Amino acid sequence: MDRFVPLGNEALAQGALDAGVSGLYAYPGTPSTEIMEYVQRSAEAAERGVHRRWSANEKTAVEAALGMSYAGKRAMACMKHVGLNVAADPFMNAAVIGVNGGLLIVAADDPSMHSSQNEQDSRMYGRFAMIPTLEPSDQQEAYDAARIGFALSEKYNVPVLVRMTTRLSHSRANVTRRDSRPENDLNVPAHLRQFVLLPGVARVRYAQLIEKQPCFEQEAEESPLVRYMDGPDKSLGIIACGLAHNYLMENFPDGCPHPVLKISQYPVPRRLIERLVEACDDVLVLEEGMPVVEEQMRGFPYDDGRVHGRLDGTLPRAGELNPALVAQALGREAPTLFLVPDVVTDRPPQLCQGCPHADTYRALNAALEPYSKGRVFSDIGCYTLGALPPFESINTCVEMGASITMAKGAADAGLTPTVAVIGDSTFSHSGMTGLLDAVQAHAPVTVIILDNETTAMTGGQDSPAHGVLEQIVGGLGVPEAHVRVIEPLPRQHEANAAVIAEELAYADVSVIVARRECLETARRRKRGQA
């Protein structure tokens, strides 16, 4: 362990273990997945009996973590940024209700949308919920953030948000571990009504949350994660948040001549910002994601044009930062670079050779031939690649679980038949309730559950509905005659297309389970057994 070179995600996970965490709750999602995977692999976590199983979705993860906190233990819920939307209900209310044992909610953002539908900035959620938010700028700070966050959470009786970003989550660097702290003892909250958000209690708790705001700001002013570094050249002062600090320093190997305020804890340390603004002519704000700090500095009637960043075009409005963009914002001349030769063509990711989803799409395309195009509502997983050539089978991908409900909405509008394509893991994440809506409405929707028996897109985590899909579907009210199971294989093509065609003709909800194990997990399983 003395030569510990973890991913940012792994550093955070080890930091949580060393800070005495008793349970992790998460749903896999890039770039957050490795936090849980690290703890699942950890011998120490196994020995201590740290809870470390995947949850059905992010909402259940946050709720379970809140329950562990209620019982006095330190708990952590981890997800990607869009997962926080799924968990927004318990997240917002946990801020009001407070915690007993320390509670960290980790959201890994994906600026530049390397593998996401949007690049929302979770620091906005931190402001929205009015809770302290940490944004580590390197792997060591990711490790330390767990300990700082749990201490802050228990000191003020509030959850703490940790914002990671793709680049930190998926980059390795040397990290020094610190002494480990024992887990908390089991205890229930001193005030037994604290966790009951009846309006009378909620009003009191909300007032208390507002009262704590100056304390949270003071904590940021004094945090080891926030530093004011003076410099002789006051023509420009620089605010560098999270990872942006590294890109700034990369441009000044011999030290930055300008005053720099490095921020990795929120709410924004207002006094330090004022100090910088007063000392310098202009201020450049470098932040990964949305202009969260920059907007707070620019009350619109008072905007005097001295603050620069993503809003005035000094930096691009969207996308990940990098050293070259920061250099450009500093007014440096761009070096001459080699150009990518014209022969280079795009090489998008593809479904694996022999992937079961490919066989399902071929059968679906054949069954849909008699109908006009544009009827297939899809969801989020490897199978989303079915939107691209050679299949071009699917027409939508919005958010986890949207396939069945959108297909129902389109059917309500009169588009029939409609098809919903959803993975087994996505179905258990947030497809089940939508299916119930469709069943209750007798919507003419054909739901195809692509059951590759795993959560393939994020690397093969367990899928909670594994082995019980037909029971769930039956329990939600789909008649047995219209719960069909097919095996997506080339030699079954004709038969599978016929099954799909039959169900397309049925004017109510039917479910087709297309079941064949993911090639990758099958290969890994066989290797493990060998």
Partner 1 sequence: MKYDVILAGVGGQGVLSIAAIIARAAAEAGLSIKQSEVHGMAQRGGAVESHLRLADHPIHSDLIPTGHADMLLAMEPMEALRYVPFLAPSGAIVADRTQVVNIPNYPDATEVYDALERFPCVRLVDASQIARSLHAARASNMALLGAASAFLPLPPADLEAAIGAIFGRKGEAVVEKNIAAFRAGREAACGD
Amino acid occupying residue 245 = H
Other CB atoms within 10 A of residue 306 CB: 14
Q: Is 225 in the site for partner 1 (CB under 8 A)?
A: no
The only residue of 222, 233, 250, 392 in contact with partner 1, by rule CB under 8 A: 250
Candidates 343-351, 363-371, 468-476, 484-492 — which segment interacts with partner 1 by CB under 8 A? 343-351
Handedness of CA 285, 289, 294, 296 (dihedral sign): negative
Which one of 45-53, 321-329, 492-500, 503-511 is the stretch in contact with partner 1 (CB under 8 A)?
321-329
* Between 304 and 346, CB nearer to partner 1: 346
Residue carrying the six token digits 């059951």: 451
CA 494, CA 362: separation in Å to the nearest integer? Answer: 10
Nearest to 115 by CA among 33, 60, 35, 173: 33
**305 or 341: CB nearest partner 1:** 341
User: Does residue number 41 form part of the binding site for partner 1 (CB under 8 A)?
Assistant: no
Q: Does 429 bind partner 1 (CB under 8 A)?
A: no
Provide the minimum distance between the beta carbon of 30 and partner 1 in the complex, in angstroms, as a whole number.
4
- In the bound state with partner 1, the residue whose beta carbon lies nearer, of 31 and 83, is 31
Q: Say whether 197 sits in a helix, a strand or coil.
A: coil
Q: CA-to-CA distance for 255 and 81, rounded, in angstroms?
A: 33
Q: Please answer whether residues 174 and 2 qualify as being in contact, where contact means their C-beta atoms are separated by less than 8 angstroms.
A: no
Give the C-alpha separation, 256 to 238, whole Å: 10
Q: Is 342 left (phi over 0), alpha (psi -120 to 50) or beta?
A: alpha
Residue 489 token pair = 């294989």
Query: Given the complex with partner 1, which of 71 and 382 has the nearer CB atom?
Result: 382
Nearest-approach distance from CB 351 to partner 1, in angstroms: 7
- Binding to partner 1 in span 508-527, by CB under 8 A: 520
Check binding of 335 to partner 1 (CB under 8 A).
Answer: yes
At its nearest, how many Å lie between partner 1 and the CB of residue 374? 24
Tokens of 405: 């409900």
User: Angle 139-156/213-222 helices, nearest 10 degrees?
Assistant: 150
| CB 386, min distance to partner 1, A | 12
Residue with tokens 């044009």: 305
Q: List, in sequence order, every beta strand (DSSP E) within 416-506.
A: 418-423, 445-451, 483-486
Pick one of 301, 347, 369, 529: the residue that binds partner 1 (CB under 8 A): 347
Under rule CB under 8 A, residue 247 binds partner 1: yes
Binding segment for partner 1 (CB under 8 A), chosen from 50-58, 316-324, 410-418, 437-445, is 316-324
Q: Provide the mask over 155-174, with x wherever binding to partner 1 is found by CB under 8 A and - wherever it is not.
A: ------------xx-xxxxx
Residues that bind partner 1 (CB under 8 A): 3, 5, 7, 30-31, 33-34, 114-115, 167-168, 170-174, 243, 246-247, 249-250, 322-324, 327, 335-341, 343-352, 382, 385, 456-459, 520
